Amino acid sequence: MADARQDTMHSKAPLLEVSGLVAGYGGASILNGVSFRLEAGQSLALLGRNGAGKSTLIASILGLTERHAGRVLLAGVDVTNLRPDQRATHAVGAVGWVPQERNIFKSLTVEENLTAIARTGARPGPWTVARVFQLFPQLEGRRGNLGSQLSGGEQQLLAIGRALMLNPALLLLDEPLEGLAPLIAAQVLDVVRKLIKDEGLSAIVVEQHARKVLEITDQAIILERGSIVHAASSIDLLHRPEELDAHLGVGGR
């Protein structure tokens, strides 16, 4: 009975709640009091210029930065004091991460990259090697190739597949299109769109190409010097190029 009540409480809480977060590195604060919520099943575009603090916010949700103030809650559970590995395997709010540098294991095969992460204590769920290959058929043909033998686009797909093997409730993607040729970038964007729209996966997508990510997400926030300067629904922001231009200076590429 007590358990059932707790589940109800958790299901009503947002999937992610960041409140008053001040965090950074080596004593310096990069984030200056960041607060936002993400409901389960929703997706968020995290926008901002180079150095605005986007990756630092992602790292702070994962517990990889030095926290000076504020809290992070996953599905209503305060994880502020949990280690990164505990957040990655959290029973109700597990967080998967596709880092900006991808960081796939270069000396392991494609298949080993996927199974290695699953052995780190992933919570049970729908994602298996077979299901990842179903989503990324081009990786299946390369299952025996080493990470170092993959193209940039294939490495990015593998980084996404590896994060999915944790069966995350929330997926954090840090500039998934960065450095990819236009055709490959379009493929990766389509994969992210499928995960969000078809699989209903909750996600935060960091992107420099604002328009592309606004088209596939529900909500958006713009970071400037470690603070949120604009929060809106993605569709509203898409229709306000002057806002994109003011904060991102790109007319919303």
**Residue 60 lies near Mg ion (rule: CB under 5 A):** no
Nearer to Mg ion, 65 or 100 (CB): 100
**Taking CB within 5 to 8 Å according to partner kind, which of Mg ion, ligand ATP, none is near residue 202?**
none
Distance, in Å, from the CA atom of 249 to the CA atom of 77, rounded to the nearest integer, reads: 37
Among positions 52-71, residues that touch ligand ATP (CB under 6 A) are 52-56
Nearer to Mg ion, 53 or 96 (CB): 53
**Residue 50 lies near ligand ATP (rule: CB under 6 A):** yes
Please state the φ and ψ torsions of residue 55, each to the nearest 5 degrees.
-65, -30
Distance, in Å, from the CA atom of 119 to the CA atom of 225, rounded to the nearest integer, reads: 38
**Residue 55 lies near Mg ion (rule: CB under 5 A):** yes
**Residue 65 lies near Mg ion (rule: CB under 5 A):** no
Burial of 145 per CB tally in 10 Å (0-12, 13-18, 19+): middle
CA distances from 23 to 32, 44, 63, 130, 229 (A): 7, 20, 10, 39, 17
| Three-state secondary structure call for residue 163 | helix
Among positions 30-49, residues that touch ligand ATP (CB under 6 A) are 30, 48
**Residue 160 lies near ligand ATP (rule: CB under 6 A):** no
**Residue 25 lies near ligand ATP (rule: CB under 6 A):** yes
**Residue 93 lies near ligand ATP (rule: CB under 6 A):** no
Count of CA atoms in the C-beta half-sphere (13 A) of 51: 1
Question: From edge to edge, which strands make up the β-sheet containing 16-25?
Answer: 28-38, 16-25, 66-74, 77-78
Nearer to ligand ATP, 30 or 163 (CB): 30
CB of 34: closest distance to Mg ion in angstroms?
15
**Taking CB within 5 to 8 Å according to partner kind, which of Mg ion, ligand ATP, none is near residue 93?**
none
Nearer to ligand ATP, 114 or 248 (CB): 248
CA 158, 51, 172, 192 torsion: positive or negative? Answer: negative
CB of 38: closest distance to ligand ATP in angstroms?
18
Among positions 97-126, residues that touch Mg ion (CB under 5 A) are 100
**Residue 51 lies near ligand ATP (rule: CB under 6 A):** yes
Distance, in Å, from the CA atom of 129 to the CA atom of 112, rounded to the nearest integer, reads: 10
Nearer to ligand ATP, 179 or 251 (CB): 179
CA 110, 89, 134, 181 torsion: positive or negative? Answer: negative
Q: Which parts of this chain interact with Mg ion (CB under 5 A)?
A: 54-55, 100
